[in-house]
Chains A and B, each alone.
Chain A
Amino acid sequence: MIYLDHAATTPVKPPVLEAMLPYFTEYYGNPSSVYKLAQRNKKTLDDARAVVARHLGAEPKEIFFTSGGTEADNWAIKGIAAALKEKGNHIITTNIEHHAVLHPCQHLEKLGFDVTYLEVDGDGLVTPEQVEQAIRAETILISIMYANNEIGTIMPIAEIGTVARAHGVVFHTDAVQAVGHLPIDVKAENIDLLSLSGHKFYGPKGIGALYVRRGVKLPSFLHGGGQERGKRPGTENVPGIVGLATAIDLAYQDLAVKTARIKTLRDYLIDRIFERIPYCRLNGHRHQRLANNVNFSFDFVEGESLLLLLDIEGIAASSGSACTSGSLDPSHVLLALGLPHEQAHGSIRFTLGEDNTQAELDLVLDKLPVFVERMRSMSPLYEDFVQKNS
Chain B
Amino acid sequence: MYSEKVMECFMNPQNVGEIENADGVGTVGNPRCGDIMKIYLKIEDNTIKDVKFKTFGCGAAIATSTMMTQMVKGKSIEEALKINNEAVAEALDGLPPVKMHCSCLAEEALQAALWNYAQKNQLSIEGLNPPPNYVAEEKGSTEEN
Q: How far is the CB of A325 from chain B (nearest CB, A)?
A: 9
Closest A residue to B54 by CB, please name it. A380
With a CB–CB cut-off of 8 A, which chain B residues contact A304? Answer: 58-59
CB pair B38 A302 closer than 8 Å: no
Q: Tell me, yes or no, whether B120 is within 8 Å of chain A by CB.
A: no
What residues of chain B lie closer than 8 Å to A46, measured between beta carbons?
Answer: none
Taking a contact as CB atoms closer than 8 A, the residue among B13, B56, B59, B141 that contacts A308 in the complex is B59
A381 touches B36 (CB 8 A): yes
Please give, as numbers and ranges, the residues of chain A lying within 8 Å of B144 by CB-CB distance.
340-342
Question: Which listed residue (A312, A330, A383) contacts B11, Cβ 8 A?
Answer: A312
Contact check, A305 vs B62: say whether CB atoms are below 8 A apart: yes
Contacts of B141 in A (CB 8 A): 384, 388
- Cross-interface CB contact of A305 among B33, B59, B101, cutoff 8 Å: B59
Say what secondary structure dominates the interface of chain A: helix
B27 touches A (CB below 8 Å): yes
Instruction: Say whether B142 contacts A345, CB under 8 Å.
Output: no
Is there an interface contact between B36 and A328, defined as CB atoms closer than 8 Å? no
Q: Does A342 lie within 8 Å of B10, measured CB to CB?
A: no
- Docked Cα-Cα span, A252 to B93, in Å, equals 49
The answer to whether A380 touches B142, judged by C-beta atoms less than 8 angstroms apart, is: yes
Chain B residue numbers with a CB within 8 Å of A379 are 54-56
- A302 and B142 form a contact (CB under 8 A): no
What bracket does the count of chain A residues touching chain B fall in?
20 to 34
What separation, in Å, do the CA atoms of A380 and B11 have in the docked complex? 18
Q: Nearest residue in A to B29 (C-beta to C-beta)?
A: A341
Given A380-B142, A384-B143, A388-B141, also A301-B56 (CB < 8 A) = yes
Query: Does B34 lie within 8 Å of A342, measured CB to CB?
Result: yes
**Given contacts A312-B11, A378-B13, are A326 and B142 in contact (CB under 8 A)?**
no
Interface string of A266-280 (1 = CB under 8 A from B): 000000000000000
Residues on A with beta carbons closer than 8 Å to the beta carbon of B13: 378
CA distance A330 to B7 in the complex (A): 23
B143 lies within 8 A of A385 (CB): yes
- Given A302-B58, A328-B101, A378-B54, does the pair A322, B33 have CB atoms closer than 8 Å? yes
Whether A323 lies near B36 (C-beta < 8 A) is: no
Question: A15-73: which have CB < 8 Å to B?
Answer: none
Q: Mark B28-41, 1 if CB is under 8 A from A, else 0.
A: 00001111111000
In the docked arrangement, what's the CA distance between A197 and B98, Å? 29
Report yes or no: B56 in contact with A384, Cβ–Cβ below 8 A. no
- Nearest CB of A to B15, in Å: 11
A381 touching B142 by the CB < 8 A rule?
yes
Q: Which residues of A line the B interface, CB within 8 A?
A: 300-302, 304-305, 308, 312, 321-323, 326-330, 340-342, 345, 377-381, 383-385, 387-388
B interface, CB within 8 angstroms of A: 2, 7, 10-11, 13, 16, 18, 27, 32-38, 54-62, 98-99, 101, 140-145
6 inter-chain pairs at a CB distance below 8 angstroms, sorted by A residue, are A304-B58, A322-B33, A323-B99, A328-B101, A342-B145, A345-B33
